[in-house]
Amino acid sequence: MNMDMEGDDQPGCFYNKSVEFFYNNSGKNISKFWRRRDYVVVSLGMMVCIIVILANILVMTAIFINRRFHFPIYYLLGNLAFADLFAGSSYLFLMFHTGPWTIRLTQYRWFIRQSLIDTSLTASVINLLAIAVERHQTVFTMQLHSTMTNKRVVLLILGIWAVAILMGLIPTMGWHCLCDLDSCSTMAPMYSRKYLIFWALLNLLIFLIMVAVYTRIFLYVRHKSHRMSQHTSQTKHKETVENLMKTVVMILGAFVICWTPGLVVLLLDGLDCVSCQVLKYEKYFLILAECNSLVNPIIYSYRDKDMRRTFRKILCYLCPVRCRRAAGADASGVRFSTVDHERSTRISSQLRPVKDQNQKEPNGTRLELGQAENLLSSSES
């Protein structure tokens, strides 16, 4: 579709109009001068983008160089890091094409700008769902790592990006308002309000599925913990449930805090709520949604001891002092969590047949519960 062709517009369409024309039509006037609000938004946005990019590059590098991370869950974490890296880069591109700079955009470049944001954020959200499903499968089958083959993981990752790219291209391919000015959104003046409703509801659906998956994991482990508590101290039972609850609250809480304001504003704009003043909070809520790409590496990676040690090795090339401190920590006997998990898995596989023959359910329950805790805490997912 040629967004900037010369000549007369098609009947009822406005393919030759400037971006400013659509902004004025939607009531989102473009300032020709830099205001204090513009400086604040661009400064915050660029700062968040740089941190997001650096943090996710660190995660991807760690997964690539450490062979202990060459398992399905870490491939998904690496793909999540790439999606968040793409989100940071896309938002950085947006920062250089916003404010008074918006008036210089052609229709084609405006759609590219928006498509990059939609694609990257969609890929990040779908990755979160994929990780939740993978953790569900490993916990309920009492395995350290998923039994998915590398081929299936690659196909899953390709499927995630296919859906994300499709979501980003849908408006460009026709779901816009260039031929129906009355349906134009206020926040995205060349997007149809119906598309905003669709995109917001899709992300809300993904969130509800994540809630259901993590709730089922929590209830399952709490049930195992309750059965085990009949044969162990009540304190251990309480700690087990509390630790799991912290993990679930962190995962879902981060998503809710970062995404809910933006999704609500999108829905209000899609429903054509004139009195809601969506433009007043739009840019700040978009920055908050981008912060989820910064929180993801912290929850899913930095809480992993093995991942943190790999980070320290990478930072040795940049900061020799930190490298010496890391070497001192190694000398103190700190172990890779992955090694501990592998060892416990081997021991449990050897002992389980004996326990099944000589002991009843309580000890087996204790073994399964401890393993489930390790599965959840290993990636905080």
Give the mean pLDDT of 153-165. Answer: 93
Residue 320: predicted pLDDT: 67
Burial class (CB in 10 A: 0-12, 13-18, 19+), 222: middle
Number of domains in the chain: 1
Asked if residue 14 is part of any domain, the answer here is no
Domain span at 281: 19-321
Asked if residue 350 is part of any domain, the answer here is no
For the question of whether the overall pTM of this predicted structure is more than 0.85, the answer is no
Task: Residue 127: count other Cβ atoms within 10 Å of its Cβ.
Answer: 26
CA distance linking residue 104 with residue 107, whole number of Å: 10
Give the mean pLDDT of 240-251. Answer: 64
CA distance linking residue 4 with residue 164, whole number of Å: 26
**Which residue, among 208, 171, 200, has the nearest Cα to 262 in the 3D structure?**
200
Q: Alpha-carbon torsion 63, 66, 68, 70, what sign?
A: positive
Give the mean pLDDT of 335-357. Answer: 43
51-103: pLDDT as tens digits: 999 989 988 988 888 888 888 888 888 898 999 999 999 988 888 888 788 88
Return the CATH number at 56: 1.20.1070.10
Helix (H), strand (E), coil (C) string for the chain: CCCCCCCCCCCCCCCCCCHHHHHHHHCCCCCCCCCHHHHHHHHHHHHHHHHHHHHHHHHHHHHHHCHHHCCHHHHHHHHHHHHHHHHHHHHHHHHCCCHHHHHHCCHHHHHHHHHHHHHHHHHHHHHHHHHHHHHHHHHHCCCCCCCCCHHHHHHHHHHHHHHHHHHHHHHHHCCECCCCHHHECCCCCCEEHHHHHHHHHHHHHHHHHHHHHHHHHHHHHHHHHHHHHCCCCHHHHHHHHHHHHHHHHHHHHHHHHHHHHHHHHHHHHHCCCHHHCHHHHHHHHHHHHHHHHHHHHHHHHHCCHHHHHHHHHHHCCCCHHHHHHHHHHHHCCCCCHHHHHHHHHHHHHHHHHHHHHHCCHHHHHHHHHHHHHHHHHHHCC
CA distance linking residue 124 with residue 118, whole number of Å: 10
Asked if residue 343 is part of any domain, the answer here is no
Give the mean pLDDT of 202-212. Answer: 88
Asked if residue 354 is part of any domain, the answer here is no
177-199: pLDDT as tens digits: 888 888 888 888 899 989 989 98
pLDDT > 90: percent of the chain:
10
User: How far, in Å, are 5, 7, 19, 20, 183 from residue 16 at the CA level?
Assistant: 6, 8, 9, 12, 18
Asked if residue 4 is part of any domain, the answer here is no
Query: pLDDT averaged over the chain?
Result: 76
- What single letter denotes the amino acid at residue 12? G
Asked if residue 366 is part of any domain, the answer here is no
Residue 1: predicted pLDDT: 40
Q: CB of 209 within 8 A of CB of 129?
A: yes
**Which residue, among 232, 211, 374, 207, has the nearest Cα to 292 in the 3D structure?**
207
Confidence at 235, pLDDT banded by 50, 70, 90: low
Q: Tokens representing 356? A: 């099944």
- What single letter denotes the amino acid at residue 275? S
pLDDT at 324 over 80: no
Residue 79: predicted pLDDT: 92
Residue 305: predicted pLDDT: 77
Q: What angle do CA 257, 259, 262 make, to 5 degrees?
A: 115
CA distance linking residue 61 with residue 55, whole number of Å: 10
Asked if residue 381 is part of any domain, the answer here is no
17-64: pLDDT as tens digits: 888 888 888 888 787 888 888 888 888 888 988 999 998 998 898 888
CA diameter of the chain: 86
CA distance linking residue 227 with residue 68, whole number of Å: 33
Length of the chain measured in residues: 381
CA distance linking residue 297 with residue 83, whole number of Å: 11
258-276: pLDDT as tens digits: 888 888 888 888 888 877 8
Asked if residue 104 is part of any domain, the answer here is yes
CA distance linking residue 175 with residue 164, whole number of Å: 16
Give the mean pLDDT of 294-316. Answer: 79
